[in-house]
A and B are shown apart, each in its own frame.
Chain A
Amino acid sequence: MTRSVYSALLGLFALALAVSPAAAGEFPSKEVSLIVNYGAGGTTDTATRILANKAEEFLGKPIAVLNKAGGAGTAGPSQLARSDPDGYTVGVTSLSPLTVTPHTLDVPFVTADFQFLLGYFRYVYGVGVAKESPFKDFQAVVDSAKNGDRITWAVASTDERILVATLNKLTDAGFVPVPFNSGSEREVAILGGKVALSFVGPASANVRSGDIRLIAAAGPERWSTSPEVPTLIEQGFDASIESWAGLAAPAGTPKEAHGVLEAAFLKAAKHPEVVEKIRGLGLDAAAMTGAEYKAFVDQRFEDNKRWIEELELNKKQ
């Protein structure tokens, strides 16, 4: 290599130093990576990309979204826990992989591995029947089961299985949970009359068109799109699913970086454009600060531990 090439490289290096705002302590000085724990194009991924798209404006640096799916949503947090705690890697820490899965699988992380930044949306659940079904509310389903009918119930996650098991315990109805891989598989089964009940979400076109009838909201609140349908709790069955998506940085991330990230993402999560788009996905756009999300995760971890042991969902049947 000739001398002129060396000096050109040196010049470029100097220029890079001059241009980059890396005056020590300034965060962020470069791109931030965000690990999504589900595949590209799914609901969680799409909502997170919408959030990241807006947060870039407040952060002043690009956010690169990477997908790390697998292990029932635990592969993403596993990688996050092992990442450098310099503020340049954050990741989705949704509630189920953090508080449900650790009780059924060995996962290489604990809650203390994360510094939570915020919670940014709540998944919305409901109990649906096909429009031909005679059931109008949940009591009718329980009555039919008590009369000796075998009631099958399509589920697609451990959260949903816990709810069915809890209701079985509460009512002695003997619901048979039938696991499906995805929300859409579940929907084919209920529309085709292969199962009696199914969990559904507000994004479903068939709920909107009336081909699937919502008989109970399964979260802590009624659906904003179907305010006339009461929750399970309101109908006298003390059970609900509450599941959130949140973001975290690895434990040990400097305070300053944590503050900058939390502020930027919270501001984005509350931005009307983001709220509207997330609602459009059939999710409940809501925001929690990092501290609130941490308290929530800790409490859920203990609750789920108790339930899963009681209901024996951690054992092969």
Chain B
Amino acid sequence: MEAIVLAFQALLDVQNVLYLCIGVGAGIVLGAIPGLSASMAIAIVIPFTFALPPVASLIMMMGAYKGGIYGGSIAAILLNAPGTSAAVATVQDGHALAKQGKGLKALKVSLFASAIGDTFSDIVLILSAAQLARIALEFGPVEFTVIAVASLTLVVSLSGKSLMKGLIGAALGILVAFIGLDPMSGLPRLTFGSSDFYGGIGLVPMLIGLLPMAEVLIRLEQKQQTKGAFLPSPKEPSDARVTKSDWKRITKPIAAGSVLGTIIGIIPGMGPTIGAVVGYDNAKKLSKDKESFGKGSVEGVAGAESGNNAVSGANLIPLLGLGIPGDSEAVILIGAFLIHGLTPGPMIFRENPEVVYGLYGGLVAANLLLIIFALLLLPQFVKLSRIRTTRILPVVMILATMGAYNYQQSFFDVIVAFVFCGIGYLMHKIDAPRSTIMIGFILAPILENNFRRAMLITDNDWSAFFSSSIGNFLWMLAIASVIYSLAAFARKRR
């Protein structure tokens, strides 16, 4: 009860509300720019918070974080240029909807799915952060190895028409992820003798090349299309809103995405991108209309977006409960706590309860503000995409190039983006799905690092992978997922 009073007190403070608004607004805009991720949105906000009281500065940063993750889906849907990697599962269906004149509908589905997923995981956080945080400790190298294998099975559901092409894409992603420094010895691997490759290939420049830049090439080729607007106007009023029948279709994916995203958020190191992919995969498995996935399914958008936003609230569970950040955004939040003399972790509930509950209040309010801000801003964003294609394509190309450079102020990343632009274009030509490259790329380091760690810890004892109860449960999920997906493929062929 006291908790709720403290939370409301924090919200009645005009200063707190003002900073929260700035945070959410800045996050949406920064997140919508390709290459500026949610973590960069927080990092940009940090210096402004040095002088603020702890609660105000923390909720401003949380606002920027949530706004940033949602903002990523705006560019994904309208420009086919995911602002953040968390939007990678949203891109296909979101942009397909926009091409049918249903951009505003997709943006609203994404908005409501994000806000609901986020609120759900915030509630789980508020009710049980301290207890649930211990679950994270059950996950060691063995369990993470099995999770990575199980997650790789999601490639099947993102593969579209050809399973073989999807698998080749995933393998390519895994291969690219091996470039850089060997994670165990720190020695260079596949670096072609150049120190530019030491940092590995960046996720953001690769994503920018594969999707928005390649999209520009593809659009340029389709001559008759370049004459009109970049995106068509809605054909009927229902294309711009979420109708009753849409709600019926997206309720289940949102509910499932929220739960799955929350679970993934509790496990450190998984992050919103995997939340999005799992949410998407699940929406597809639940759906009666699997054919529409990849071609503009509102269920797909809802599953992906509820999945990635649910991670953002649940991420704070290990942060507050154990002092361990769940992903790169939470790492930055730790710095913000420390600057204000607070140590996130088990002690904070006793030492600074007013900060924790103030933060809780801010989280819930941020979700409401997100809906209000987004509904105000969305029509403006959509107007931008009505501009003629001939004008918008160069702008997308410039924004994408800048985004690749901005990722770490490096010209090398611009070259990476151009190379993957070529690869993305070729993949489109042979009709192979580009999203499976991303999945392979994100999962490969999780799989490799944890597999090799497990081997070191157990002294090369393979039976360790089958002697953990969480691990065994995950094996069963993986096997079930593969059988289910292969059966779906077989049915389609018949």
Contacts and interface: CB of A to CB of B under 8 A. Distances in A.
B379 interface: no
B190 to A, nearest CB: 13
Nearest to B136: A188
Interface in B176-216: 181-188, 193, 195, 198-200
Interface string A183-227: 011011101111100000001111011010000000000000000
A205 B335 contact: no
Given A68-B409, A71-B199, A211-B346, A178 B453 contact: yes
Size range of the chain B interface in the assembly: 35 or more
A108 interface: yes
Given A69-B408, A188-B139, A317-B185, A41 B324 contact: no
A80 to B, nearest CB: 13
Interface stretch (A99-107, A136-144, A251-259): A99-107
B52 interface: no
A46 interface: yes
Contacts, number: 157
A280 to B, nearest CB: 5
B101 interface: no
Nearest to A66: B409
A86 to B, nearest CB: 19
B332 interface: yes
Contact of A187 (B47, B324, B344): B324
Contacts of B137: 188, 191-193
Interface string B31-69: 000000001101100110010000000000000000000
B138 interface: yes
Interface in B343-374: 343-348
Contacts of B5: none
Contact of A105 (B141, B195, B331): B195
B324 A42 contact: no
Contacts of B323: 187, 204-206
A277 interface: yes
B195 A71 contact: yes
Contacts of A104: 186-187
A53 B47 contact: yes
Contacts of A150: 459
B338 A108 contact: no
Contacts of A188: 136-137, 139-140, 268, 322, 324
B100 interface: no
Contact of B408 (A68, A106, A195): A68
A209 to B, nearest CB: 5
Size range of the chain A interface in the assembly: 35 or more
Contact of B346 (A69, A75, A161, A209): A209
Contact of A181 (B138, B332, B338, B449): B449
A208 B345 contact: yes
Contact of B456 (A176, A206, A209): A176
B335 A192 contact: no
A43 to B, nearest CB: 7
A204 B346 CA distance: 11
A203 B336 CA distance: 13
Which one of A182, A188, A317 has the highest number of Cβ atoms from chain B below 10 Å of its Cβ? A188
B234 interface: no
Interface in A142-163: 150, 152, 158, 161
A107 B322 CA distance: 37
A72 B408 contact: no
A251 B453 CA distance: 41
B185 A184 contact: no
Given A50-B339, A178-B453, A209-B347, A74 B39 contact: no
Contact of A46 (B141, B200, B335, B456): B335
B274 to A, nearest CB: 16
B188 A209 contact: no
A306 B449 CA distance: 29
B195 A277 contact: no
Given A78-B195, A106-B195, A150-B459, A180 B187 contact: no
Contacts of A21: none
Contacts of A78: 195
Contacts of A203: 338, 343
A138 to B, nearest CB: 21
A122 interface: no
Given A192-B140, A194-B457, A205-B322, A316 B39 contact: no
Interface in A107-153: 107-108, 150, 152
Nearest to B321: A205
B345 A206 contact: yes
A197 to B, nearest CB: 12
Contact of A206 (B186, B325, B346, B453): B346
A241 interface: no
Contacts of A40: 39-40, 43, 46, 332
B198 A42 contact: no
A281 B339 CA distance: 7
A70 interface: yes
A78 B182 CA distance: 20
13 contacts: A40-B40, A41-B43, A66-B409, A71-B195, A104-B187, A105-B181, A105-B198, A188-B268, A194-B457, A203-B338, A205-B323, A208-B345, A209-B345
Interface of A: 39-43, 45-46, 49-50, 53, 66-72, 74-75, 78, 104-108, 150, 152, 158, 161, 176, 178-182, 184-185, 187-189, 191-195, 203-206, 208-209, 211, 277, 280-282, 313-314, 316-317
Given A70-B198, A75-B408, A152-B457, 5 more contacts: A41-B331, A105-B181, A105-B186, A105-B188, A208-B345
Interface of B: 39-40, 42-43, 46-47, 50, 136-141, 181-188, 193, 195, 198-200, 268-269, 322-325, 328, 331-332, 335, 338-339, 341, 343-348, 408-410, 449, 453, 456-457, 459
